[in-house]
Amino acid sequence: MHKSIWCDGTKLPRFEKLQGERRCDVLIIGGGLCGILCAKLLKDAGVDYILAEGRGIASGVTGNTTAKITSQHGLIYAKLLKGIGRERAKMYLDANERAIREYETLCRGVDCDFEKKSAYTYSLRDRARLEAEAEALERLGFGAELSETHELPFKTAGAVRFDNQAQCNPLKFIAHIAKGLNIFENTFIRDIAPHMAIADEGKIRAEKIIVVTHFPFINKHGSYFLKLFQHRSYVSAYENVARVEGMYVDEDKRGMSFRQYKDMLLIGGGGHRTGKQGGGWAELRSFANEHYPGSVLHCEWAAQDCMSLDGMPYIGRYSAKTPELYVATGFNKWGMTSSMVAAQLLCDEVLGRENECAAVFSPQRNMLKPQLFVNGFESGVNLLTPRAPRCPHLGCALRYNRAEHSWDCPCHGSRFHEDGRLIDNPATGDAKTTSEGK
């Protein structure tokens, strides 16, 4: 298995497994960054909480992030102005900016390689899109600027620059804030009943439950199997290359991203919808050979992101019919900042405090977006594909991922080892795999 650079020398605290029955006011399901931030904020507020993690904390998507802490989520603000209006677009921007400042506070004095950086979204050819985004940000009162990209090893049409953004080592950060939290590891929640979560060897009764498992695993509420799909992207860390001081991402989803970590350059790209084919690490190696001759590969890994219908996360009540059940998902490719936004909003929700951003991120907002029909088509095609093996989540046909030697679901993104053991949710159990279809 490929491991991210964050695993080098980072020791996370360990926690016991749940045995028997426990009670609390708030149960958090999922021990990634979002769940741990929720636990910390609830602890600071004096709330009786428990966090249940199916494996070890930060063992899933969190450990594979590129750890850019930014409110610059591609060229999203021109789109938001048009789609949800100035007031709500500014709420989205302000919520993410507050998240960055909160990270800055929490990281003060902590050995987690926190650094203030400028973030750039560049375009290879479309200067007009960059100008439209800069104009949208000016309307929102945010001081972004058009910029050149002299640090990159290829020519671009320019970039939109956000100053006072940040980056860090996410596992070092989690190792610090997770100490002393009320966490149970190796406690896989198989199902939820009203005010109760059921694990393999115990139960947890709670007045309110927060589900932050990356992709929500409860299908009977919220229609997340229609509102989300998953996307894989690949990262390689190279030594012996010129430093890049900014954090860069292409506005084209097929493009490359860049950030520095110590003496290594992290290059991201080669992405594709989970279960489909893409460039993967081979694309990154080819790029490095062409643009950074003499570079030395240190390590490489892959990330998986939940993509929402409209580019914004779903944070709030799991569904209109589940008033004591909450969710955070659909962070797209911006999980660091979105995790903090979600933790702050969800803590306000469970504590009964008003949060002006709740409507912006509500999971019950309008689903009628073009991506909804793409998701429905993909599900229909793969449900009707007459071949084994099948995903135990909703029965879609799995496809073999030759780059990572796994079975992946193109419908909802569950992934399995070659022998069928579960890697990534929303499936909650193993698959029956064969050599057929490889």
Cβ atoms of 319 and 221 closer than 8 Å: yes
Average pLDDT, the chain: 93
Quick one: average pLDDT of 26-53?
98
Look at residue 138 in the predicted model and tell me its pLDDT: 97
Beta bridge partners of 126: none
**Residue 391 to residue 402: CA distance in whole angstroms:** 18
Does residue 274 register a pLDDT over 60? Answer: yes
3-state SS class at 175: helix
Angstrom distances, CA of residue 80 to CA of 91, 241, 251, 273, 366: 11, 37, 15, 23, 14
Residue 324: Cβ-neighbour burial (10 angstroms; 0-12, 13-18, 19+): middle
The helix (H) or strand (E) run that includes residue 260 is strand 257-261
User: Which residue in this structure is represented by tokens 């890994």?
Assistant: 301
Taking alpha carbons only, the member of 110, 103, 251 closest to residue 165 is 103
3-state SS class at 361: helix
pTM, whole model, 2 decimals?
A: 0.94
Quick one: average pLDDT of 351-360?
94
**Residue 347 to residue 95: CA distance in whole angstroms:** 14
Q: Please name each of the domains of the chain with its CATH number.
A: 5-66+172-222+310-361 (3.50.50.60), 113-167+228-307 (3.30.9.10), 371-424 (2.102.10.10)
Taking alpha carbons only, the member of 402, 421, 420, 424 closest to residue 411 is 424
Segment 72-127, tens digit of pLDDT: 999 999 999 999 999 999 999 999 999 999 999 999 999 999 999 999 999 999 99
**Residue 5 to residue 63: CA distance in whole angstroms:** 9
Look at residue 214 in the predicted model and tell me its pLDDT: 94
Look at residue 437 in the predicted model and tell me its pLDDT: 59
Look at residue 369 in the predicted model and tell me its pLDDT: 85
